């Protein structure tokens, strides 16, 4: 309902959020199990398990145009020198 409210009230906006996806790959299974053990299960990860379903979710709420990319794709958009600098911090 929050997404529908945003679509009805804010007509010119850019939304970005970090949503867990891909619950069936190796990392996703570990991630989901971790949150279950923390008694904080991810409520919508199986309903919207990938970027395509996230786009459909946004379109259903009339948030158009709607696009979704994963973090690996986002990182590819960051210039290499900045990526190296960021990764050297860890």
Would you say the C-alpha torsion 10, 67, 49, 58 has a positive or negative sign? positive
CA distance 45 to 48: 5
- Which residue matches tokens 């053990």? 37
As a residue count, the chain comes to 90
Q: Which of 83, 67, 66, 85 is nearest to 75 (CA)?
A: 83
Residues of the chain with pLDDT under 50: none
pLDDT at 5: 92
Q: Which of 50, 43, 48 is nearest to 70 (CA)?
A: 50
pLDDT at 15: 83
Mean pLDDT score across all residues of the chain:
92
pLDDT at 82: 95
């Amino acid at each position: 309902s929050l997404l529908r409210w945003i679509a009805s009230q804010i007509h010119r906006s850019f939304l970005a959020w970090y949503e867990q996806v891909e619950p069936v790959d190796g990392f996703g299974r570990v991630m989901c199990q971790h949150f279950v053990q923390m008694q904080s299960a991810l409520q919508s990860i199986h309903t919207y398990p990938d970027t395509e379903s996230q786009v459909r979710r946004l379109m259903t709420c009339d948030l158009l145009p709607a696009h979704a990319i994963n973090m690996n794709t986002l990182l590819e958009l960051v210039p290499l020198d900045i990526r190296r600098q960021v990764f050297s911090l860890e």
